[in-house]
Amino acid sequence: MYVAVKGGEQAIEAAHAQLAEDRRGDAAVPELTLMQIEQQLGLAVDRVMTEGSLYDRELAALAIKQARGDLVEAIFLLRAYRTTLARFGASLPVDTTRMTIRRRVSATFKDVPGGQILGPTFDYTHRLLDFSLADPEREREPTAAVDCPKPTSGSALPGHAERAARQSEGGVGAISGPPRVIDVLDREGLIEPERSDDDSGVVGDVTREPLAFPAARDVRLQNLARADEGFVLALGYATQRGYGRNHPFAAEIRIGEVELELAPEELGFSITLGELTVTECQMVNQFTGSAAAPPQFTRGYGLTFGHTERKAMAMALVDRALRARELGEAARTPPQDEEFVLYHSDNVEASGFVQHLKLPHHVDFQSELVLLRTLRAEAGIAPATTSP
């Protein structure tokens, strides 16, 4: 009788044992290895690394396995590990013009210096279930795209370059490090120059400092990079449907490897720590100008770990929407409201708080019952008899 919630230790232990058993599933089915997750569920790994804010494919794979494929739970696991790691410095800004390109497309120009490179994209697949994948025994024929052109310069990274299905021969020898499309507009003065909104040179850290408003763009971008993909996607989508409309064009989306460099003070020069795969999206948005500024294009920016294009594009839309104050636009819609966006974007926070409603609340509920009965009694409603 009196055990419903006041269950205690044995109940928790039993629940954990059952969780472990369910995670493993049927013991007759071979157990997943981290390498399989890393290799064959790579996009799940990319999302968990991005929103978990930790670039480590193996740990992300472990988190996905432990979370039974629940990616928000996996992100939580990775965050709770990351939080214990020491900070030993800030890297130099990543230079995406020196990216080794896997994929790079621009929607604003038919062709661009360096060419359009489709790379491994779902974009033009027909979403028909490929039943041959259901039969792991059968070695499948390689698809017709085997004759993708060899990169002319790319001796360094044959593995990636071979996968680059090039659409255009625009920039011969430019697989690594084509110029940014947006810089073409920049040279003509058609787009606002990229400038920092503070001169301190110190980058904020949303994992160390609580949010304060108005939030600077570095903090906003950090928040959005870690933000729940679904939340950012919905907000970005809303801007396209008139809630903070800003007429976006995808100037460039590029995916590939960049080097991460650190310049320790005591060394006096920078050293390369390693290589990251990132997705970068530069959005160009219309701006009609104001009393102080002539009409010019404006920018929205997205940067995420791995191949996470949907997130990077949505992030760029929301980044632009959040610049309303800075650009003198009226901020009337949720995507332009930085408190609304930044406080509700984190899925670890949101998931925890929504689900904490599962915890017992019977003390507060009891207080409400007492109050409600008092109010009803005063309204002259007799309590219903409790015995039949």
Binding site for another protein (CB under 8 A): 1-2, 5-9, 11-12, 76, 79-80, 82-84, 86, 207-214, 339, 343, 348-349, 351-357, 359-364, 366-371, 374-375, 378, 385-388
Least distance from C-beta 290 to another protein, angstroms? 23
Q: Residue 343 CB, nearest distance to another protein (Å)? A: 8
| Residue-wise burial string across 94-117, b where 16 or more C-beta atoms lie within 10 A, e elsewhere | eebeebbbbbbbbebeeebebbbb
Q: Which is nearer to another protein, 273 or 369 (CB)?
A: 369
Nearer to another protein by Cβ, of 12 and 271: the residue is 12
Residue environment code for 307-337, b if the CB has 16+ CB neighbours within 10 A, otherwise e: bbbbbbbbbbbbbbbbbbeebebebebbbbb
How far is residue 78's CA from residue 115's CA, in Å, rounded to a whole number? 37
* 263 vs 369 by CB, closer to another protein: 369
Task: Between 81 and 243, name the residue whose CB sits nearer to another protein.
Answer: 81
The strand pair at 298-305 and 100-105 is best described as unpaired
Q: Which is nearer to another protein, 173 or 214 (CB)?
A: 214
Q: Is 118 left (phi over 0), alpha (psi -120 to 50) or beta?
A: alpha
Residue closer to another protein, measured from CB, 25 or 214: 214
Nearest-approach distance from CB 195 to another protein, in angstroms: 24
225, 50 Cβ separation under 8 angstroms: yes
Q: Which ranges of 155-295 would DSSP assign to H, the alpha helix?
A: 158-163, 181-187, 217-226, 229-240
- Who contacts 60 (Cβ-Cβ below 8 Å, separation ≥6)? 38, 45, 48, 49, 52, 54, 74, 78
